[in-house]
Amino acid sequence: MKKAVFTVAAAFAICLLSNNLFAQATTTASTPSGDLVATLSGNPDYDASAIAIRAANLESTLKGAGPYTIFVPSNTAFSNLSSDKLDALMKDPATLATVLKGHVVSGTYDKAGLIKALATGTATLTTLDGQKLTLAVNDKKHLELTDAQGDKAQVIRFDMLGTNGVAIGIDAVLTK
């Protein structure tokens, strides 16, 4: 009997947590109509990332089977970079590719998957370039990513689904 009560209480707590945690971010769950690059290209808030993916010659990788999770900077995140930094990145495909690979992990981590990964408080994911991203909930209950250099970004949008994974919108470009 105690085990059944505990199980129900735990399920109830998870439901409350998943609805209240990460309240700042919107969720966009729909049936995917294309791969992740197509999903980003068709989204007016994230099309700068699609352009950067093409400029970095990562399109064929991110159109591949995956699955991938892209922690994708919004157009506003790109516009917050200094014009010198943005110009330098766009003129150097190799450096741009390194920066973008630092936003991509293998596997699918939608909102539910991220909540599950955070069961112990933090989660560490390995990016395509072998770097570590640490995910944690900050004091304002926002999901925050921190890269190996200490750069931070907050999740602002969940579950932009593609046929080969999911894109999670963030408010900053994690640069190296």
| pLDDT averages per 10-residue partition of the chain, 176 residues | 35 37 49 81 90 92 90 94 91 93 94 90 92 91 92 94 93 86
Q: What is the pLDDT of residue 66?
A: 84
Name the CATH code of domain 24-170 (choices 2.30.180.10, 2.40.50.140, 2.40.280.10, 3.40.50.300).
2.30.180.10
Nearest C-alpha neighbor of 170 from the set 152, 161, 38, 162: 152
Tokens of 89: 């990145």
Sorted by where each begins, the domain ranges of the chain are: 24-170
Q: What is the pLDDT of residue 150?
A: 93
pTM score, whole prediction: 0.81
- How many angstroms from the chain centroid is the CA of residue 13? 25
